[in-house]
Amino acid sequence: MIADPDAAARRLGSIVLEAGRFLAQVRDRGAGRVVKPDGSPSTAADLEAERMILGRLAADFPDIPVVAEESAEAASAPSGLYFLVDPLDGTRDYLTGAGEYSVNAALIAGDRPIAAALAVPVLGRVWAAGTTCLVAPIPPSGDCTDWQPTAVRPSPAEGPVAVVSRRHGDDATDICLDRMGIGGRRIASSAAKFGLIASGEADVYVRCGATMEWDTAAGDHVVTVAGGLVLGADGKPLTYGHAERGFLNGAFAAFGDRRLAGLCTLPAG
Ligand SMILES: Nc1ncnc2c1ncn2[C@@H]1O[C@H](COP(=O)(O)O)[C@@H](OP(=O)(O)O)[C@H]1O
Ligand SMILES: [Mg+2]
């Protein structure tokens, strides 16, 4: 077990900050588009960001294996301590310049995260969570220094604000949100949604469509440690390390106000 999850989270914060800055610079120059074998978009930038993160993790945590999005096909079933890394979450939004792409890194012990960080350059913020959840503004240069505790909010009386994908909506998600009586929607790219919930700027993120474990592990921990709850269709916290299903998640919902869980029924399955 890592002796100090909060120190690990801060180190992960520095690493995702560095990768996020790199991605922002490359995007400003125009990223080269690559299509992966499954038809999903990738960029030279996310491959390079992943190499950068893998190098930093190998230097700081040499004994801990990594499952990262761009190299996950080669990953065997992880156990014990391992990292889940998405070097560029929200690739399509990154390519179009539309959205809040993010860099995600989570340290998993067994099947649950114990430390995580999430950088969202477009929002200018990094979240880092070990045993407490912190957020810092991204400074013009150097490491984040102005770390502040951050927490979820009680759901507003006029109904919870849902954060939704810019491009991966689905009917099951909409039905679930309608039944909850949401009071509004805010569009945000994938893991940025978790950061907004963790900082009390939104209340619920329901996702019945596909996501991968590296899309959710960091955000799950950030929301959970900030006082929220992230549950799968079985009503239990998500578990990680499922190489046997290609690291694919089932439906899940993230709640800032834990009482919202009682209003939400995800499709089984
Ligand atoms: N059909 C599919 N299968 C697996 N993951 C999918 C998917 N469609 C979308 N995703 C995941 O959803 C993420 C984007 O979420 P959002 O639409 O909320 O921004 C993608 O992250 P990447 O951009 O890292 O590939 C991808 O992992
Ligand atoms: Mg992703």
CA of 36 to the centre of ligand 2 (A): 13
How many other C-beta atoms can be found within 10 angstroms of the C-beta atom of residue 204?
27
Q: Quote the CA–CA distance of 59 and 53 in Å, as a whole number.
A: 10
Burial call 90-100: b when 16+ CB within 10 Å, e when fewer:
bbbbbbeeebb
Tokens coding 192: 């940025």
- Residue 151 backbone dihedrals phi, psi, to 5 degrees: -150, 160
178 in a known ligand binding site: no
Q: Best substitution site from 168, 194, 247, 248 to test ligand 1's pocket, by max atoms within 8 Å of Cβ?
A: 168
Ligand lying closest to the C-alpha of residue 207: 1
The domains of the chain, with CATH numbers, are: 5-149 (3.30.540.10), 161-263 (3.40.190.80)
Q: Best substitution site from 33, 42, 211 to test ligand 1's pocket, by max atoms within 8 Å of Cβ?
A: 211
Residue nearest atom 18 of ligand 1, based on CA coordinates: 190
Predicted model pTM: 0.95
CA dihedral 206, 210, 214, 216 (to 10 degrees): 10
Give the residue from 121, 132, 122, 140 showing the smallest Cα distance to 9.
132
Per run of 10 residues, the mean pLDDT along the chain (length 269 residues) is 89 98 86 62 83 97 94 84 96 86 97 98 97 97 97 97 93 95 94 98 97 97 98 97 95 98 90
111 in a known ligand binding site: no
Give me the pLDDT at residue 65, please: 95
Task: Give the list of residues 6+ apart from residue 250 with CB closer than 8 angstroms, or none.
Answer: 232, 233, 269
CA of 127 to the centre of ligand 1 (A): 20
Ion ligand 2 nearby residues (CB, 5 A) = 86, 89, 215
Q: What is the atom index within ligand 1 of the atom nearest the CA of 214?
A: 27
> What amino acid is encoded at 242 in this protein?
H
CA of 157 to the centre of ligand 2 (A): 32
Give me the pLDDT at residue 261, please: 97
Give me the pLDDT at residue 76, please: 81
The H-or-E segment that residue 252 falls in is: strand 252-255
Give me the pLDDT at residue 41, please: 60
Give me the pLDDT at residue 268, please: 85
Give me the pLDDT at residue 77, please: 82
238 in a known ligand binding site: no
Residue nearest atom 24 of ligand 1, based on CA coordinates: 89
Ligand lying closest to the C-alpha of residue 248: 1
CA of 92 to the centre of ligand 2 (A): 10
Give me the pLDDT at residue 37, please: 62
Q: Best substitution site from 93, 212, 252 to test ligand 1's pocket, by max atoms within 8 Å of Cβ?
A: 212
Instruction: Please give the angle made by the CA atoms of 66, 13 and 150, to the nearest 5 degrees.
Output: 125
